[in-house]
A and B are shown apart, each in its own frame.
Chain A
Amino acid sequence: MNVHSDPEPGGDLATPFHKAGTHKQTSVYVYEAPVRIWHWINAFAILVLCVTGYFIGRPLPSFTGAEATYQFFFGYLRFVHFAAGMVLTVGFFGRLYWAFVGNHHARQLFTFPFWSRPFWTEVWFEIRWYLFMAKEPRKYEGHNPLAQLAMFFFITVATVFMIITGFALYAEGQGQGHWMYRAFGWVIPLAGNSLDVHMLHRMGMWAIVVFVIVHIYVAVREDIMSRQSIISTMVSGHRTFKDDRPD
């Protein structure tokens, strides 16, 4: 049975962190199509960026097949990195736009209720759940509070950081005088010099890699162990619940 529960009774105020509530239901439409498409495009872009970025910083053994003019291996590698970076950036702004026009779940990524005591209680509960200290997980329509925090810092903040540092580095190639350099060039002296920005950009990559590992693991685990669907939700958009018991 598929029941659309949007708008949810009580609205945002009642359940600021989108607990599934106590009403009986088995499925909720959470992730609208643009969010889902963005998620997978973003995932792909991050994969490409990490792989190409890793090898830009630490190149493979030399290719000595042809004269340099007729070989552009490293150039293509960097091109792919830049292209993926552009996709990531456009996607990010698209996603930001959707936060305004999409459903309230679409806004979760960009904010969290810092001043809400129940939110932090829920975070603490989730930590206990992951530490095997809680017997049964709770149900959430959107992200659980801990996930929301992780998303905010490792996706939103980290992506903004990577876009800014990435564009600062890219702008160096565009040259002083280019609009991109005027827009992002300030990053270089702020960090110290170009090498510092490279280093920070690489640290950012590793932060995202660490997040990706945790994210995929938790998604799989929750899919199995929690009371709601996880992975399929990002495909279909529907959150299904495995039981009708209240929280």
Chain B
Amino acid sequence: MDLSNEKLIQMYRTMKRIREFETKAAELFAEGRIPGFVHLYIGEEAVATGVCANLKDSDYITSTHRGHGHIIAKGGDLKYMFAELFGRETGYCKGKGGSMHIADADRGILGANGIVGAGHNIAVGAGLSAKYRDTDQVCVCFFGDGSTNQGTFHEALNMASIWKLPVIFVCENNLYGISMHQSRHQAIQDVADRAVAYNMPGVVVDGNDVLAVYEAAKEAVDRARNGQGPTLIECKTYRHRGHFEGDPTVYRDEEEVKEWLQKDPIPRLVEFMLDNNVVTEEEIKKIDEEIAAEIKEAIKFAEESPFPPVEAAVEDIYTDIVEEVRS
């Protein structure tokens, strides 16, 4: 493995930033300070982190309703993310998108998405664009196991494979499409098996092992950059929380949850780093403190930011037309 200590620490930092962001988001939501829905990424941090550690700012990602982790791993700013969750003018989307629609074109983040499976085809378009413009950009399409039953999954993988597009399809198999266990929503255990139908590599990795995810993604990203086409990577993982905050999770038993909590990706990376003398416990503690301070600062920024003026509701629909306001 060619991972430098610096890279490992960077990945730890990313995973921990996601974990702390999501933990705070859960608290704020429970306190009624964040409106709408939130779908948290806690437990799945190794996937976004291991994949995005292979990407450049100019590369693209498409994300999902459970998108905070992807945005953070692709370099999103926690201040603007929290501000968006709070519906403030300073948020990534000026308060018009909320949790499910955070995007940052400057970092190639083509948006979280509220429609399950909608990102697949957009990722193909971004991949086509990269190839058309003759750049070495790639696009990573993140999605869950549930979305692999949408027609868009088939359309997109087919199109990406016939045109050999630089797209990496990353399935976060967290075992459930909302309440429906994978065994009830598809007759296969490995989503990666479906890659055969598109004549592309299908890889299964332990999605709670950030090093394994990093390696698999590296190979796929290299293939994509070299013009060898798309890859389907399936990361076996688990969401610690419900589908959304407030989900009573009656559909899964405590034993299963306990078993997966043992496989928490963050302590696993910490153990690896300590065992291999990458960092000391003191250094980890220092990183954690820095992240806690960053989160605190980001929430302060969000809460102190103004709400958008109501007239902003009619702006940004078109580049050149502002709709009429209520008279």
Do chains A and B stick together as partners? no
Q: Please report A residues at the B interface, Cβ cutoff 8 Å.
A: none
Q: Please report B residues at the A interface, Cβ cutoff 8 Å.
A: none
